[in-house]
Amino acid sequence: MELTDLSTIQAVLKRHGFRFSKSLGQNFLIDPAVCPRMARECGADETTGVLEVGPGFGVLTRELSARAGRVVAVELDKGLLPVLGETLGSCRNVEIVQGDVLKLDLAELLKEKFGTMKISVCANLPYYITSPVLMRFLEERLPVSSLTVMVQKEAARRLCAPPGSRDCGAVSAAVSYYAKPQILFEVPRTSFYPRPNVDSAVIRLDVLDGPAVRVLSEKGFFALVRAAFGKRRKTILNSVSSGLGLEKEQVLRVLQDVGIPPATRAERLTLPQLADFANGLEELK
């Protein structure tokens, strides 16, 4: 069965009485070149277990199944289970888990399904939960070596922007703390059915063995990052003192100690500078 062929898809949908849900981000890939490329670029081989989020009709799942040792796909929409039963019926190494990726106990799921296998995440993510899903894997330090995911093109730029560059925001700094991000390739809106209003890009986050910079307190570091990027147009002195509720003089002293000009904007700061700043503030406590 050719899952990127529109008439095949429509026939399967009709047989199972499936209706698309816009609120679940259901835009399915119909470009035959994209899924094989994603499956290849996520580095899956027979020794790897792949966790997919949102298999939809199973178009990417089938490509992953052909390369990986094992594939577990978490799908929220119960209405897709009979569809997946038909489209993935012959894939012996695939298991579908019905549930919400933001609510499942992922640590337990990964342990139960993959044991000691190397694990990668590969997914065409529902756009409404892109950052929460990625941050969940990174912040909870779930045992995955990489995440290869399709996201909105603008989100891809933000997620992969190195701190110190124009597109950088709080989420870019957070991603760079845990992983090495890169944009792999762009995917136009015409590659999806139904067609979304935005273009997409596939990114890959290679999870680091340890944080990219040394911080005295992760809680303090991320509070600083949120405050610094919370008011992008303010200087770092103003955004951090108001965001963290600190006296300007105190913040100024720390900035001077770590050699950051107080009129700098957050997006000009590199990750080591953000870490030095956070560590300086931590020492005030």
The contact set with ligand SAM (CB under 6 A) reads 24-29, 53-56, 59-60, 74-77, 80, 100-102, 124, 126, 129
Distance of CA 13 to the CA centre of its chain: 28
State how far the Cα of 270 lies from the Cα of 68, in Å rounded to an integer: 37
Supply the Cα-derived Rg of the chain in whole angstroms.
Answer: 21
Q: Least distance from C-beta 261 to ligand SAM, angstroms? A: 43
8 Å CB contact between 150 and 175: no
8 Å CB contact between 173 and 230: no
29 is in an annotated binding site: yes
100 is in an annotated binding site: yes
Nearer to ligand SAM, 90 or 116 (CB): 90
124 is in an annotated binding site: yes
Q: Least distance from C-beta 110 to ligand SAM, angstroms? A: 15
Supply the DSSP symbol for 230.
H
Supply the DSSP symbol for 162.
P
8 Å CB contact between 150 and 202: yes
Q: Least distance from C-beta 279 to ligand SAM, angstroms? A: 36
Q: What is the residue type of 30?
A: I
State how far the Cα of 108 lies from the Cα of 275, in Å rounded to an integer: 32
Q: Least distance from C-beta 55 to ligand SAM, angstroms? A: 5
> Is the previous residue joined to 181 through a cis bond, with omega within 30 degrees of 0?
no
Nearer to ligand SAM, 76 or 156 (CB): 76
**Residue 233 — φ and ψ, nearest 5°?**
-85, -10
Q: Which residue is nearest to ligand SAM (CB)?
A: 54
Q: Least distance from C-beta 256 to ligand SAM, angstroms? A: 46
Nearer to ligand SAM, 106 or 255 (CB): 106
Nearer to ligand SAM, 6 or 263 (CB): 6
Nearer to ligand SAM, 62 or 279 (CB): 62
* Residues of the binding site: 27, 29, 54, 75, 100, 124
* Residues of the binding site for S-adenosyl-L-methionine: 27, 29, 54, 75, 100, 124
